[in-house]
Structure 1
Amino acid sequence: MSQQYVIFKLNDKYFGVNIAHVMEIIWPQKVFKVPDTPPYVEGLINVRGKVFALLNLKEKFRLPDTKVMDEEAKMIIVMINSKTLAFMVDVVEEIISIEDEEIVAVSDSSLSHCKKYLKGTAKFGDRSILLIDFEPILNETQK
């Protein structure tokens, strides 16, 4: 079966999130810091009266934070099992369809520390796209 994914970049890596979980893609918002949170929790954002936790996926996935936020930067708000969160991305690239049988296990050893947050990887053209599984991230964030 084919599913659609929102493709975005963190540094030079391509990631995808199932479009069924994407509530909204927005411009960066003011972040309200929250003390005593894990390093990957940037804080809270308020979008039209609704408050969301903002995660730093580069921190969570141990990627260097090399890109300066610019006009291409976006925040993606996702909902999974009625829980919502937001995260920053360097750029939203496109929406693509990926067949379930095209998804394979992640073999990149440099990502071994974050494999539990990835459903798998898929090839699209000459790009390798890492597909994020937000359930384990949400479960950790809710603790």
Structure 2
Amino acid sequence: MSQQYVIFKLNDEYFGVNIAHVMEIIWPQKVFKVPDTPSHVEGLINVRGKVYALLNLKNKLNLPDNQIIDEETKMLIIMINSKTLAFMVDVVEEIISIEDEEIEPVSESVSSYYKKYLKGAAKIQDRFILLIDFEIILNETHK
């Protein structure tokens, strides 16, 4: 079966999230810092009267954070099992269909810390796309 994924970049790596979990793709919003939060929580954003926690996904995945906010930078608001959060991405590339058979287990060469947040990987054309399991991230963030 085929499912649609929002493909985005963090640094030079491609990632995907199932479109069924994406509530919105928005321009960066003003971030309200909250004291005493984990390092991967940037703060809170207010989008049309709704408040969301903003996660630093690069920090969570242990990637270098050289975030430069420009006209391509976007925020994605994700909802799974009535839990929501927002995170910033460098670029939203496209929405593509990926067949279930195209999704493979994540290679053993991927760091075990990083690997626990991935559902699998798919090679689409000349790109290797890592599919993020946001359910795990949301459950950890909402503890």
TM-score (norm 2): 0.97
Q: In the aligned structure 2, how far is the partner of 1:91 from the partner of 1:108?
A: 27
Letter in 1 for 2:27: W
Q: In the aligned structure 2, how far is the partner of 1:110 from the partner of 1:99?
A: 22
Map 1:23-62 to 2 at 5 A.
Answer: 23-62=23-62
Could you tell me which residue of structure 2 aligns to residue 9 of structure 1?
9
Q: In the aligned structure 1, how far is the partner of 2:111 from the partner of 2:55?
A: 18
Report how far residue 68 of structure 1 moved: 1.2
Q: In the aligned structure 2, how far is the partner of 1:48 from the partner of 1:70?
A: 22
Q: Secondary structure at the match of 2:139?
A: helix
Could you tell me which residue of structure 1 aligns to residue 101 of structure 2?
101
Q: Secondary structure at the match of 1:38?
A: coil
Could you tell me which residue of structure 2 aligns to residue 78 of structure 1?
78
Q: In the aligned structure 2, how far is the partner of 1:60 from the partner of 1:105?
A: 20
Q: In the aligned structure 2, how far is the partner of 1:141 from the partner of 1:3?
A: 26
Could you tell me which residue of structure 1 aligns to residue 88 of structure 2?
88
Q: In the aligned structure 2, how far is the partner of 1:30 from the partner of 1:68?
A: 15
Q: In the aligned structure 2, how far is the partner of 1:90 from the partner of 1:52?
A: 19
Q: In the aligned structure 1, how far is the partner of 2:55 from the partner of 2:138?
A: 10
Give yes or no for the alignment of 1:115 onto 2:115.
Answer: yes
Could you tell me which residue of structure 1 aligns to residue 127 of structure 2?
127
Give yes or no for the alignment of 1:139 onto 2:139.
Answer: yes
Letter in 2 for 1:65: D
TM-score (norm 1): 0.97
RMSD between superposed Cα atoms in Å: 1.0
Letter in 2 for 1:119: K
Structure 2: state its 5+ residue gaps.
none
Letter in 2 for 1:30: K
Which deviates further from its counterpart, 107-116 or 27-36?
107-116
Identity of aligned residues (%): 81
Total equivalences in the alignment: 143
Structure 1: state its 5+ residue gaps.
none
